[in-house]
Amino acid sequence: MYCRQILRTAALAATLMYATGAMAQGTLQLTNEVFQEVTTTGADGKKTVKRVSATTVVPGTEVIYVVTYKNVGAQPADNVVITNPVPKQLALRSESTAATGTRVEYSVDGGKTYGALATLRATGSDGKPRAAQAADVTHVRWKLARAVKPGEQGSVSLRAVLK
């Protein structure tokens, strides 16, 4: 299905789009998963939100991309940067990126430049520059604040909606 291909492509791209010396040395392993949240109501009326693998989505569906990293080497992985492209069929949810101990940056120009979303400019439908919005984001980049110790793992994530 078309939507499933978008999800797979974006998850694969996250694996391919990284910049770190640790990756070149083969010490940092990345895995990608795409989820959606499902709310269920129990017999007692209590609602529970659960993440499930996103296999088929329709326009308007929110998905959560999770990139998990693990240092499988014997040395700390320094200067780790994880970059995830946001396919044009998806719109990033505002304030939706998550990761402890990272600096998050955004690009609205295909990954050429990065910065805080509030500082970026995009081209409006009238051809004039305007303040960038979450829907303009083409890439999200997480810079880890510290080295990843051997055996240590963590994750970064973002939420987006299928247009």
Q: What CATH code is carried by the domain that includes residue 41? A: 2.60.40.1170
Residue 136, Cα to own-chain centre: how many angstroms? 14
Q: Look up the domain containing 12 and give its range.
A: 2-162
One DSSP character per residue, 27-60 reads -EEEEEEEEEEEEEE-TTS-EEEEEEE-----TT
Note the pTM of the prediction, 2 decimals: 0.80
Return the pLDDT at 87: 84
Q: What is the pLDDT along the chain (163 residues), one digit of tens a residue?
A: 445 555 554 554 444 344 445 554 568 888 888 899 889 999 999 999 999 988 878 888 899 989 899 999 898 888 888 888 888 888 998 767 767 788 999 999 999 999 999 999 999 889 999 999 999 999 999 999 999 999 999 999 999 998 8
Question: Domain tally for the chain?
Answer: 1
C-beta neighbour count of 28 within 10 angstroms: 22
C-beta neighbour count of 15 within 10 angstroms: 15
